[in-house]
Structure 1
Amino acid sequence: MPITSSSNGNTVDIVISGRFDFSVHKEFRDSYSDTQSGSATEFIIDMSQTEYVDSSALGMLLLLREHAGSDKANVTIKDCQSDVKDIMIVSNFDKLFTIS
Protein backbone atom coordinates (compact mmCIF):
# COMPACT_ATOMS: atom_id res chain seq x y z
CA MET A 1 0.00 0.00 0.00
CA PRO A 2 1.73 3.20 -1.15
CA ILE A 3 -0.14 5.45 1.30
CA THR A 4 -0.66 4.83 4.99
CA SER A 5 -2.07 7.15 7.59
CA SER A 6 -2.57 7.32 11.31
CA SER A 7 -4.32 9.77 13.56
CA ASN A 8 -3.08 10.76 16.99
CA GLY A 9 -5.32 13.31 18.63
CA ASN A 10 -5.17 16.47 16.55
CA THR A 11 -2.46 15.19 14.20
CA VAL A 12 -2.83 13.11 11.04
CA ASP A 13 0.38 11.46 9.80
CA ILE A 14 0.44 10.36 6.16
CA VAL A 15 3.31 8.31 4.68
CA ILE A 16 3.64 8.17 0.89
CA SER A 17 5.80 5.38 -0.57
CA GLY A 18 6.92 4.97 -4.17
CA ARG A 19 5.18 6.99 -6.88
CA PHE A 20 2.88 9.83 -5.86
CA ASP A 21 0.72 10.33 -8.94
CA PHE A 22 -2.89 10.19 -10.09
CA SER A 23 -3.06 6.42 -9.59
CA VAL A 24 -3.19 6.96 -5.80
CA HIS A 25 -5.57 9.93 -5.69
CA LYS A 26 -8.41 8.03 -3.99
CA GLU A 27 -6.05 6.45 -1.48
CA PHE A 28 -4.52 9.83 -0.67
CA ARG A 29 -7.90 11.53 -0.25
CA ASP A 30 -9.11 8.69 1.96
CA SER A 31 -5.96 8.96 4.09
CA TYR A 32 -7.07 12.31 5.49
CA SER A 33 -10.84 12.25 5.02
CA ASP A 34 -11.45 8.78 6.52
CA THR A 35 -9.64 9.61 9.75
CA GLN A 36 -10.93 11.75 12.56
CA SER A 37 -9.53 14.64 10.57
CA GLY A 38 -12.57 16.75 11.30
CA SER A 39 -10.85 17.52 14.59
CA ALA A 40 -7.32 17.43 13.19
CA THR A 41 -5.38 20.67 13.30
CA GLU A 42 -2.07 19.37 11.96
CA PHE A 43 -1.20 17.20 8.97
CA ILE A 44 2.28 15.73 8.54
CA ILE A 45 3.16 14.26 5.14
CA ASP A 46 6.19 11.94 5.32
CA MET A 47 7.78 11.76 1.87
CA SER A 48 10.99 9.97 2.86
CA GLN A 49 9.94 6.97 0.76
CA THR A 50 8.46 8.96 -2.13
CA GLU A 51 10.43 8.41 -5.34
CA TYR A 52 8.36 10.37 -7.85
CA VAL A 53 5.90 13.28 -7.78
CA ASP A 54 3.89 14.57 -10.75
CA SER A 55 1.56 17.53 -11.27
CA SER A 56 -1.49 15.60 -10.08
CA ALA A 57 0.31 14.93 -6.79
CA LEU A 58 0.88 18.66 -6.39
CA GLY A 59 -2.83 19.18 -6.98
CA MET A 60 -3.68 16.56 -4.36
CA LEU A 61 -1.48 18.36 -1.83
CA LEU A 62 -3.34 21.59 -2.59
CA LEU A 63 -6.66 19.82 -1.99
CA LEU A 64 -5.35 18.57 1.37
CA ARG A 65 -4.32 22.13 2.23
CA GLU A 66 -7.81 23.36 1.35
CA HIS A 67 -9.35 20.58 3.48
CA ALA A 68 -7.07 21.60 6.36
CA GLY A 69 -8.15 25.24 6.27
CA SER A 70 -6.27 26.89 3.38
CA ASP A 71 -4.21 29.81 4.72
CA LYS A 72 -4.82 28.65 8.29
CA ALA A 73 -3.68 25.12 7.46
CA ASN A 74 -0.89 23.51 9.45
CA VAL A 75 0.54 21.08 6.89
CA THR A 76 4.15 19.89 7.02
CA ILE A 77 5.86 17.98 4.23
CA LYS A 78 8.91 16.28 5.70
CA ASP A 79 11.94 14.24 4.67
CA CYS A 80 11.64 14.75 0.90
CA GLN A 81 14.30 13.18 -1.28
CA SER A 82 16.29 15.83 -3.16
CA ASP A 83 14.46 15.46 -6.50
CA VAL A 84 11.07 15.66 -4.80
CA LYS A 85 12.15 18.64 -2.70
CA ASP A 86 13.38 20.44 -5.83
CA ILE A 87 9.94 20.01 -7.41
CA MET A 88 8.29 21.41 -4.27
CA ILE A 89 10.53 24.47 -4.28
CA VAL A 90 10.25 25.13 -8.04
CA SER A 91 6.46 24.93 -7.63
CA ASN A 92 6.63 27.46 -4.74
CA PHE A 93 5.12 24.94 -2.35
CA ASP A 94 7.60 26.15 0.27
CA LYS A 95 5.39 29.25 0.48
CA LEU A 96 2.21 27.21 1.05
CA PHE A 97 3.51 24.37 3.22
CA THR A 98 6.19 23.88 5.84
CA ILE A 99 8.86 21.77 4.14
CA SER A 100 11.39 20.20 6.47
Structure 2
Amino acid sequence: MQFEFVGNDACVRMTGDLTFTDHVAFKTMTDRLFGGTDQFVTMDLAKLEFIDSAGLGMLLLARDVADKAGRKLVLRSPGGQVKRMFGLTKFDTLFAVEE
Protein backbone atom coordinates (compact mmCIF):
# COMPACT_ATOMS: atom_id res chain seq x y z
CA MET A 1 0.00 0.00 0.00
CA GLN A 2 1.09 3.49 -0.77
CA PHE A 3 -0.57 6.57 0.64
CA GLU A 4 -0.48 10.31 0.26
CA PHE A 5 -2.18 13.01 2.27
CA VAL A 6 -4.42 15.46 0.46
CA GLY A 7 -4.85 18.99 1.75
CA ASN A 8 -4.78 19.40 5.50
CA ASP A 9 -3.98 15.83 6.62
CA ALA A 10 -7.68 15.03 7.18
CA CYS A 11 -7.79 13.06 3.92
CA VAL A 12 -5.48 10.29 2.78
CA ARG A 13 -5.45 8.64 -0.65
CA MET A 14 -4.50 4.96 -0.60
CA THR A 15 -3.24 2.98 -3.61
CA GLY A 16 -2.18 -0.58 -4.31
CA ASP A 17 -3.02 -3.45 -1.93
CA LEU A 18 -3.89 -3.29 1.78
CA THR A 19 -2.68 -6.52 3.41
CA PHE A 20 -1.06 -7.71 6.62
CA THR A 21 2.37 -6.60 5.40
CA ASP A 22 1.13 -2.99 5.48
CA HIS A 23 0.29 -2.84 9.20
CA VAL A 24 3.29 -0.66 10.14
CA ALA A 25 2.70 1.83 7.31
CA PHE A 26 -1.03 1.84 8.10
CA LYS A 27 -0.35 2.66 11.77
CA THR A 28 1.98 5.50 10.75
CA MET A 29 -0.66 6.82 8.36
CA THR A 30 -3.50 6.66 10.90
CA ASP A 31 -1.40 8.34 13.60
CA ARG A 32 -0.99 11.31 11.27
CA LEU A 33 -4.59 11.18 10.01
CA PHE A 34 -6.04 11.28 13.53
CA GLY A 35 -3.40 13.69 14.82
CA GLY A 36 -5.34 16.74 13.64
CA THR A 37 -8.49 18.32 14.94
CA ASP A 38 -10.89 17.86 12.00
CA GLN A 39 -14.20 16.26 12.96
CA PHE A 40 -14.28 14.20 9.75
CA VAL A 41 -11.35 12.22 8.38
CA THR A 42 -11.45 10.55 4.99
CA MET A 43 -9.70 7.56 3.49
CA ASP A 44 -9.95 7.76 -0.30
CA LEU A 45 -9.99 4.16 -1.56
CA ALA A 46 -10.65 4.87 -5.24
CA LYS A 47 -7.21 3.57 -6.25
CA LEU A 48 -6.95 0.79 -3.67
CA GLU A 49 -6.93 -2.35 -5.81
CA PHE A 50 -7.04 -5.16 -3.24
CA ILE A 51 -7.85 -5.68 0.43
CA ASP A 52 -7.59 -8.88 2.48
CA SER A 53 -9.00 -9.79 5.89
CA ALA A 54 -6.06 -8.15 7.67
CA GLY A 55 -6.69 -4.94 5.71
CA LEU A 56 -10.35 -5.05 6.74
CA GLY A 57 -9.22 -5.48 10.34
CA MET A 58 -6.97 -2.43 10.05
CA LEU A 59 -9.94 -0.37 8.86
CA LEU A 60 -11.91 -1.55 11.91
CA LEU A 61 -9.05 -0.48 14.18
CA ALA A 62 -8.98 2.92 12.49
CA ARG A 63 -12.73 3.26 13.06
CA ASP A 64 -12.24 2.47 16.75
CA VAL A 65 -9.54 5.15 17.03
CA ALA A 66 -11.86 7.65 15.34
CA ASP A 67 -14.73 6.77 17.68
CA LYS A 68 -12.55 7.16 20.79
CA ALA A 69 -11.39 10.55 19.51
CA GLY A 70 -14.98 11.64 18.84
CA ARG A 71 -14.33 11.87 15.11
CA LYS A 72 -16.00 10.35 12.08
CA LEU A 73 -14.12 8.15 9.61
CA VAL A 74 -15.41 8.26 6.05
CA LEU A 75 -14.34 5.76 3.39
CA ARG A 76 -14.53 7.24 -0.10
CA SER A 77 -15.03 5.53 -3.47
CA PRO A 78 -14.17 1.87 -2.88
CA GLY A 79 -14.21 0.06 -6.20
CA GLY A 80 -13.53 -3.32 -7.77
CA GLN A 81 -12.43 -6.06 -5.38
CA VAL A 82 -12.49 -3.67 -2.40
CA LYS A 83 -16.14 -2.80 -3.02
CA ARG A 84 -16.99 -6.50 -3.44
CA MET A 85 -15.28 -7.31 -0.12
CA PHE A 86 -17.21 -4.51 1.58
CA GLY A 87 -20.45 -6.00 0.25
CA LEU A 88 -19.57 -9.56 1.28
CA THR A 89 -18.52 -8.55 4.78
CA LYS A 90 -21.20 -5.86 5.24
CA PHE A 91 -18.49 -3.25 5.83
CA ASP A 92 -20.68 -0.83 3.94
CA THR A 93 -23.00 -0.95 6.99
CA LEU A 94 -20.19 -0.44 9.53
CA PHE A 95 -18.71 2.70 7.95
CA ALA A 96 -19.82 5.89 6.34
CA VAL A 97 -19.06 5.10 2.69
CA GLU A 98 -19.16 7.79 0.00
CA GLU A 99 -19.51 6.51 -3.55
TM-score between the two structures when normalised by the length of structure 1: 0.81
Distance 1:36 1:80, change over 3 A: closer
State the percentage of identical aligned residues.
26
Q: CA separation in 1, counterparts of 2:52 and 2:90? A: 14
Report the equivalent of 2:54: 56
- The runs of 4+ residues in structure 1 deviating greater than 6 Å are none
May I ask how many residue pairs the two structures share in their alignment? 97
Q: Deviations over 1:42-68 (max 9, x none)?
A: 121111111110000000000100100
Report the equivalent of 2:21: 23
Distance 1:46 1:55, change over 3 A: same
| Matching residue's letter, 1:33 | D
Q: Contact 2:49/2:80 (CA < 8 Å) preserved in 1?
A: no
Report the equivalent of 2:64: 66
Q: CA separation in 2, counterparts of 1:54 and 1:83? A: 10
In structure 2, list runs of 5 or more residues that go unmatched. none
Could you tell me how far 1:94 is from its partner in structure 2?
1.4
Alignment RMSD: 2.1
In structure 1, list runs of 5 or more residues that go unmatched. none
What is the DSSP-based 3-state SS (H/G/I as helix, E as strand, rest coil) of the residue aligned with 1:25? helix
TM-score between the two structures when normalised by the length of structure 2: 0.82
